[in-house]
Chains A and B, each alone.
Chain A
């Protein structure tokens, strides 16, 4: 009886559906998007009127658009927040949970739970928490003696109010990845270190951290590229860059230009910019957080 696993004649046939799906729903729209960014399209779903004059108009406009710079600055901040707070807190929590004897599964579920809640629902939840009159936060401050209400969505608080829930939401995601990495470290290494008199901190510093280095690199690259795509929760809490267009991220600004302003070709140009930015940043992150072979 011939071994069908050695016969690869029909193998490409089984790859065609997935390839066709990717071609139709990813690569075709992607290349059309690049094309659209050079054309004049006033409304969604309508064919372009003509090529822009000059054809690179949108890319020149990007350079002179103050909201683009606001969104780039905010996205950069989001990347830093992601790395420090999402990956950082996830690492600390994973190390702590890795050192507790009981309840690992419980903590894993608790920390992962925000991931399974829709970002829109989380946005609404945090909207209620930071509500001016009188959300949970202002009520708590009032109970502590504060006499005036704080607008947590005003210009001075908006970015923090937007980024804290985003950071909080994904801590569990990175926690689970890092936890899995820690679990894969052989307990014999820790036992040997203990026999040699290594303290708990020394075990973490010289065994855990080096051995999950590659996991942390993966988390960091995921964090950097993920921060570029954040959309739903910020848009739910701060639609249209509210207040005074100070909270735009690259993703929310692209959506705003396309769906609200109906400047579809400009939105396409911003999308191209996001893709380029994503490629560049993931390469940079790959160089900075280089993986190591052990």
Chain B
């Protein structure tokens, strides 16, 4: 009997190991021309998709709705792993590519953040896709689709543009006796306003410098430059551009020393300081166009149901230009088309997924879907539909009004100064503003990392 049990256990163990061995999926048929289709493409396909349409992003719900519509139309499924756009998200995506677990389709930055996986040949160019699918992104103006800085080739199909500007909680301004800043507000006037707000018992600026210092980093530097030279990377901390970067970060330090950021700015998360802004405890919030949706959702009793919008509460919020100094005009904004949909080589080489991936991107970048996402931002559509302002809420209308006076859009230089280069001044921002680290040394550290990456 014991022998039988031992044989049975041995067989079970051997069977388990054999099952492990045969559990590997059959490799896709990667023929040279990629045209082989060994799988039945009419079967439902499960597509792994990652975007930044999540969390406080104003298009999070639009994305969910669009995905549901595409799933219903095609019978395919989307496994959505979208997350809030921050450094962790970027790290996750880059690591996923490096470890071979990248998604099939991703909505990601088209700047230097994508360099690693572009150089590794892990995404498919628009031109390559058009060889098999001539209509792919044909509704877009190619001239407005950004090429990768890694090789000058276009990979990402854009949806909506972005802008970065200063949101204002007017309730706080009223309580502090401060008037709404506009296109004529100078840096000195902004500092005066901050002082009045602080004296009234509010935090002038909602920002988590220990978590998301990006916007202050960008505009701080931009305030010492012009749209013409903002995208230049300094050669050294003591050359002309380098000094402008140092001066910009010195401004952020000055604001910190004056006590214009929240008391917990070095230990808070971005969500916490955003809550301070929407709860009427802070006056200004420097952020991106995606935050419009976050503010609106905050004014709804049910964040997922627009019909529950408290319009009176929303009317307390406004958006305006970031006050300028030096040669930059207040109406010079950071903005552009910095993100787009990529199709990964992994999905492209998988006959079962290729059609679905192309279909998904075509749907999400169609003339019908793009305007839903773009709203008050730019698109790359050839035939952009006319904006119907009556469909917009008060904050969106204010954003459109602000856009009408913009004198220039300039991309964010941090998109070319990717991850590792920014560590000393992004992660290191708390040390810079508290004076624990020299700003010029931190800038030089970033430049050295940038040069090492270029080698």
Contacts and interface: CB of A to CB of B under 8 A. Distances in A.
Nearest to A131: B272
Contact of A244 (B87, B116, B210): B210
Nearest first, the 3 closest Cβ-Cβ pairs linking A and B are A45-B98, A153-B267, A243-B266
A42 interface: yes
A110 B445 CA distance: 50
Interface of A: 4, 14, 17, 42-46, 131-133, 149, 151, 153-155, 158, 239-240, 242-245, 259-263
Contacts of A133: 264, 272, 275-276, 279, 281
A238 to B, nearest CB: 8
Given A45-B99, A245-B431, A132 B272 contact: yes
B402 interface: no
B291 to A, nearest CB: 19
A154 B264 contact: yes
B420 A151 contact: no
Contacts of A132: 262-264, 267-268, 272
A242 B210 CA distance: 7
Contacts of B17: 17
Given A42-B453, A151-B263, 8 more contacts: A17-B17, A46-B98, A132-B268, A243-B210, A244-B210, A259-B91, A260-B427, A263-B420
Contacts of A149: 263
B95 A45 contact: yes
Interface in B72-122: 87-88, 91, 94-95, 97-100, 116
A263 to B, nearest CB: 8
Contacts of B264: 132-133, 151, 153-154
16 contacts: A4-B6, A17-B17, A132-B262, A132-B263, A133-B276, A149-B263, A151-B263, A158-B267, A242-B210, A242-B211, A242-B267, A242-B430, A244-B266, A244-B434, A259-B91, A261-B420
B267 A154 contact: yes
Nearest to A2: B3
B423 interface: yes
Main secondary structure of the interface of B (DSSP, over half): helix
B93 to A, nearest CB: 12
Nearest to B455: A49
Given A43-B94, A259-B95, A244 B431 contact: yes
Interface string B428-444: 00110010100000000
Main secondary structure of the interface of A (DSSP, over half): loop
Contacts of A155: 266
B91 A260 contact: yes
B313 to A, nearest CB: 19
A45 B100 contact: yes
B438 to A, nearest CB: 14
Contacts of B97: 45
A133 B87 CA distance: 24
A27 B100 CA distance: 22
B2 A4 contact: yes
A68 to B, nearest CB: 16
A261 B262 CA distance: 27
B419 interface: yes
Interface in B271-303: 272, 275-276, 279, 281
A245 B427 CA distance: 9
Nearest to B20: A17
A242 B429 CA distance: 11
A215 to B, nearest CB: 35
Nearest to A3: B2
Contacts of B6: 4
Contacts of A44: 95, 98-99
Contacts of B2: 4
A46 B97 CA distance: 10
Contacts of B434: 244
A45 B3 CA distance: 47
Given A151-B267, A242-B211, A243-B267, A261 B430 contact: no
A44 B6 CA distance: 45
Contact of A260 (B99, B275, B279, B423): B423
Nearest to A256: B427
